[in-house]
Structure formats: C-alpha cells, structure tokens
Amino acid sequence: MRHRSLQIPRIVEGGHTGPADSSRLPRFAGPATFARLPRLDEIDTPDVVLLGVPFDSGVSYRPGARFGPSGIREASRLLRPYNPAAGVSPFAEIQVADAGDIAVNPFAIGEAIETIEQASGEFGAAGIQLVTLGGDHTVALPLLRSVAARHGPVALVHFDAHLDTWDTYFGAEYTHGTPFRRAVEEGILDTEALCHVGTRGPLYGARDLEDDRRFGFGIYTSADVFRRGVDEIVGALRDRVGDRPLYVSIDIDVLDPAYAPGTGTPEPGGLTSRELLEILRGIRDLQLVGADVVEVAPAYDHAEITSLAASHVAYELVSWRAHLRQR
C-alpha cells in the first residue's frame, strides 16, 4: 500500500518559514516540534534554534526533567504566531527552527557537560542563538561557557526558587544546585550584573546568602516581587544589567507549585505565571544572547500546567529576540 508523503501547510511570512498553519492542520496533528515549527534540517539559515537537552542526572531530589523538552514541545502546540504583548510576530521577524534533542550520557555528568558545551558552541560559532529546553539546571553551566566564549563574561538574570550557588552535593561539584558558583569561579559571568529573581524557602544556613553576595548576586525574592510589584523589579533588573550581553536562565520552579507542580524541587510561595511573563516582557529591550528553560518534570504535572507555562516562557524568549530585531 502506497502512502503519500505528509505535506505540512506552513505559515510563510516576512520571508521566513513558520509553524504549521492551524487553519489547515489541527493543533493536535502535525509535527511534534516546538510550536510545530520547521525542523533545523528544513531551514538553511536560522536565527534562533530551540534545542532540547534531556538530561537530569544532576538532580538532588525528584528525577524526571529528562522528559522536559518533549513535554514543553507537546504543550507548545497551542501557541499562536502573533504575540500581542510584544507587538510582534516572532516567527515572521526571525527564522526559528527546532533542532531536536542532543544525546547526552545519563551516567556521566562530566561527559554530558562536555557534550552540551560542544553542541551549543557549534550553534554559537554559526551565529545562531539558542533557547534551550532542559533538562535539569546542571545544563546552564556548559551553555554559559559557550555563550561566554563568543561574548566574554555575560550578565545573568536567574529565575529560580533556589540560589544554585552551592558548592557541592555529596562531594560532587557539578549538579543542578551548583552551576552558577562554578560559572563565577570560571570567570564567565560579569559579577557586576548578576541577579536572582523569585528565590524563597529554607536554606542550609546563613552562609548560603553570604557566599551568594560575595559572588556578586543581587536577590529579588518572590516576596519582593509580591510586595514591590513587577514594575519596580523590572526597573531594578534593567538598572543592574544595563547594555551588557545578557543570559537568562529560568528554572520553572520559580513559579509557585500551584502554577508549576511538575518540577523536581517545588517550593511554596512562588511567582505566578503572569508575574514571570510580565517581568520577561518588561526587560525585553536588554541584549539577550542566550536563554534556557529548565527543570520541567512532566511526570509530576497535572493537565500540562507546568509544560504550558514553560512553553509560553520559551515563546516570550523567542519573541524577545524578534523584538530586538525589529528595533
């Protein structure tokens, strides 16, 4: 029996090939790429690539973030091509593609970090910006290494319930709780422009905060966001980062478990999904050079709540790049 090859009706606008056309192909059908965008091998010169890193061997509590990229992609089927909050059609302004998932060794953290650094570095050398879908937060370190190799030490805005500047877990230096301490030690972060947003919950001791301040981080807790409001936090972030090249790292557990139950280390008292999206929109004039969305663990999710939030966060990051292109 012969089968015709599937022809995907796509939106083509501004000279760029966009997602599958939902007026001709239902959202629950078609390619399983992010927002049903073209695959990388279907595009000649992408500007931004969605890259999955299905790795969670660095977690300290619940595993499962290795399935985060596929969960985020599945939830992204509902995304539409025009972003009214940003006033931009991101897939028309820039060429976006999905590179799929890179294969990383789940039994050797050191080897996995090298693989991620090499793969992301190849995209950077080609002038392609990444929005990476994790995976646990260990992946941020090799991603920062590849970005710094091109731009020098970068500013960091880190959305997370946790500091992720601890030294070791059980003697291990490379885990999802240590990437930004290692990054400071390696000199790949601009220590004049480092920010945590959304941190909360118990710590191991007062020294955790002392070490964090010593590394150069400013902290805007989830309580700060609640009491001071989104606009004031946005202003503080803009002042701190300025015109430096900026990397944004988003652990989905920055959201309250009511908005993101599907994650490895949930902490009550977090941001709402609205607050996170509005903060991202408020800083979209800053010079974004790379970003990740990590720690989505679909096995603990309900009705795709967490994956839906993460897909919209990734969409805002792509829209951010499109907004910068418009300027």
CATH code of the domain in which 267 resides? 3.40.800.10
Query: Do 322 and 283 contact (CB within 8 A), yes or no?
Result: no
Residue 197 lies in a domain: yes
Which pLDDT does position 253 carry in this prediction?
Answer: 98
Residue 115 lies in a domain: yes
Q: Which domain holds residue 240?
A: 10-326
Which pLDDT does position 326 carry in this prediction?
Answer: 83
Residue 98 lies in a domain: yes
Residue 2 lies in a domain: no
Give the integer Cα–Cα distance in Å for 212 and 188: 16
Q: Which residues pair with 51 in a beta bridge?
A: 132
Residue 92 lies in a domain: yes
Total count of domains within the chain: 1
Residue 4 lies in a domain: no
Which pLDDT does position 1 carry in this prediction?
Answer: 46
> What is the per-residue pLDDT across 14-56, written as a single tens digit (0 to 9) for each?
999 999 999 999 999 999 999 999 999 999 999 999 999 999 9
Amino acid in the structure at residue 154: V
> What is the per-residue pLDDT across 227-238, written as a single tens digit (0 to 9) for each?
999 999 999 999
Residue 259 lies in a domain: yes
- Give this prediction's pTM: 0.96
In which residue are the tokens 């509005």 written? Answer: 278
What sign has the CA pseudo-torsion 257, 261, 262, 264? Answer: positive
Which pLDDT does position 327 carry in this prediction?
Answer: 76
Residue 3 lies in a domain: no
Q: How crowded is residue 100: how many other Cβ atoms within 10 Å of its Cβ?
A: 18
Which pLDDT does position 6 carry in this prediction?
Answer: 65
pLDDT in tens, the chain (327 residues): 454 456 899 999 999 999 999 999 999 999 999 999 999 999 999 999 999 999 999 999 999 999 999 999 999 999 999 999 999 999 999 999 999 999 999 999 999 999 999 999 999 999 999 999 999 999 999 999 999 999 999 999 999 999 999 999 999 999 999 999 999 999 999 999 999 999 999 999 999 999 999 999 999 999 999 999 999 999 999 999 999 999 999 999 999 999 999 999 999 999 999 999 999 999 999 999 999 999 999 999 999 999 999 999 999 999 999 999 987
Phi then psi dihedrals of residue 2, to 5 deg: -90, 140
Q: How crowded is residue 38: how many other Cβ atoms within 10 Å of its Cβ?
A: 22
